[in-house]
Amino acid sequence: MGRKRTVALTVGAASIAAWAASKAMSKSIPRTEKKALNFDSPIVLANRGGLLEAPEHTNAAFSHSASYGVHGFAVDIRLTKDEQIVVFHDEYVNRTTNLEGKLADYSLSEIKEADAGYHFKDKNGEFPYRGKGETVLSLKELLEQFPHLFICINIQETPDTYEGSLIPSKLWYLIEELGAEDRLAVTSAFDEQVDRFNLYAQNRVAIGAGNREIKKAYTAFTSQFGHFYQPTTDLFCCPHKMGIFSIGRAGFINFLSKLNIPIYFTDVDEPDNITTLINAGAAGFITDQPTVMMKTIQNAVAE
């Protein structure tokens, strides 16, 4: 046997031995189960209340979705000029309301005067909610109006802004005031915002993975060292594909499940894909069309 081949075999054997030793010595610790995430079957969360069926983040949308039996809502939050938390997606208000400028330039009372149904079009191209009194909701109003539903709250403010620096603490104090710790989750695409919020919450609220944590978990799963991965969050809310990352793989869903981490998919509409993900162990779906998704889920589960 040649010297190079002998060295290669020796190195390979040493690597295998090192991997085996690391697996024996290191083990991922599952997350403590959170009451808010305790569902027996896949759930449906209406995204912004169901933005394709009624004006997003309005009473009309939330009430419409709730009437169809959704398990809860996925909402975005931002901060007003007077530091009140509202359910709102965009930095600017002109896409959904009749106002102009940034949301952060308006107080809660000022933004309440906006027509939140102004730009919503139905399938016929008409504006059925314009001038009908739909207003921007504060997060407090939403939590008080739907105490029986699960709310997944997404911090939309970026960490490097004034509003972004305040909203994690403001959010925690509101949740604590309402005693809502066990009926909601807090997430953000910005891992830093999740970390900031949890400095106050101290794991008393279910927290979701940001983009960095999701990629970290997937990289660990596809490597030979998944046993080194120590989760820092309680749930994943993400598309079934993130660039080169195939998040919807059954193996990855199972990897997370063993760590007590449910995964909710945000971009799945085709019935066949929904059924496939349910069979793979998906915990639920965040959808713009809750009535369609509810029927699809019921049919998939019945089969």
At 106 the pLDDT is: 98
For the chain, give the percent of residues with pLDDT over 90: 82
Distance between CA atoms of residues 62 and 228, nearest Å: 41
Residue 301 has pLDDT above 70, yes or no: no
Query: Quick check: helix, strand or coil at residue 105?
Result: helix
For the chain, strand residue ranges (E) read: 43-47, 72-79, 85-87, 150-155, 184-187, 206-207, 236-238, 263-265, 284-287
The amino acid present at 282, given as its one-letter code, is: A
Distance between CA atoms of residues 221 and 228, nearest Å: 10
Q: Give the residue with greater pLDDT, 13 vs 79.
A: 79
Q: Is 221:213 a contact under the CB 8 Å cutoff?
A: no
Q: What is the reported pTM?
A: 0.90
Residues 6+ apart with CB under 8 A from 86: 77, 78, 79, 80, 103, 108, 111, 136, 137, 138, 139
Which of 81-90, 163-172, 264-273, 294-303 is the least confident region? Answer: 294-303
At 23 the pLDDT is: 46
Q: How confident is the model at residue 28 (pLDDT cuts 50, 70, 90)?
A: confident
Q: What is the mean pLDDT of residues 45-57?
A: 98
- Fold annotation for 31-302: TIM Barrel (3.20.20)
Burial of 2 (0-12, 13-18, 19+ CB in 10 A): exposed
Residue 251 has pLDDT above 80, yes or no: yes
Q: How confident is the model at residue 13 (pLDDT cuts 50, 70, 90)?
A: very low
The amino acid present at 180, given as its one-letter code, is: A
Distance between CA atoms of residues 30 and 128, nearest Å: 48
At 19 the pLDDT is: 39
Q: How confident is the model at residue 168 (pLDDT cuts 50, 70, 90)?
A: very high
For the chain, give the percent of residues with pLDDT over 70: 90
Residue 64 has pLDDT above 80, yes or no: yes
Residues 6+ apart with CB under 8 A from 127: 117, 118, 119, 120, 121
Q: What angle do CA 291, 240, 31 make, to 5 degrees?
A: 95
At 110 the pLDDT is: 98
Which residue in 63, 75, 70, 61 sits closest to 43, CA to CA? 70
At 278 the pLDDT is: 94
CB half-sphere exposure, 42, CA atoms < 13 A: 28
Residue 239 has pLDDT above 60, yes or no: yes
Backbone angles phi, psi at 13, to 5 degrees: -65, -40
Q: How confident is the model at residue 9 (pLDDT cuts 50, 70, 90)?
A: very low
Q: Is 272:262 a contact under the CB 8 Å cutoff?
A: no
Locate the domains of the chain by residue range.
31-302
